[in-house]
Amino acid sequence: MSAIKTKDIRSALLKKGFRSDNCHHEYLWLYLGETQTGVRTWLSHGLSEYGEDLLAKVKKELGVSKGQLFALVGCPLDYETYVALLVKSGRIKTE
């Protein structure tokens, strides 16, 4: 795994159904419409880049593989496909 800029992670997730909840760190929660899901990750205000260790934590929190994380941030993996992956894995339920 290589590094990804923190601003790129933030930007991609905000475009794909996540909303920011700022506190000591920035928490990004996935929403389905107006409903907050249990899927979330946090981003540090002090890091400009996430290396292998932190990316491993982010991919676990988001419920994706390494390749899917890069696709999620790089944009080939869209919101609908991401939500479908989470539903299939049992991480979230849709009504």
* Number of folded domains that form the chain: 1
Residue 95 lies in a domain: no
22 DSSP β-pair partners: 26
How far apart CA 69 and CA 64 sit, in angstroms, is 6
Residue 75 lies in a domain: yes
Q: How far is CA 56 from the centre of its chain?
A: 12
A 10 A CB-CB count for 81 gives 14
**pLDDT tens by residue, 28-49:** 999 999 999 999 999 988 889 9
Residues 6+ apart with CB under 8 A from 24: none
Residue 94 lies in a domain: no
How far apart CA 87 and CA 84 sit, in angstroms, is 5
Residue 57 lies in a domain: yes
Domain range enclosing 24:
4-89
Residue 51 lies in a domain: yes
Reported pTM: 0.87
Q: What percent of the chain has pLDDT over 70?
A: 98
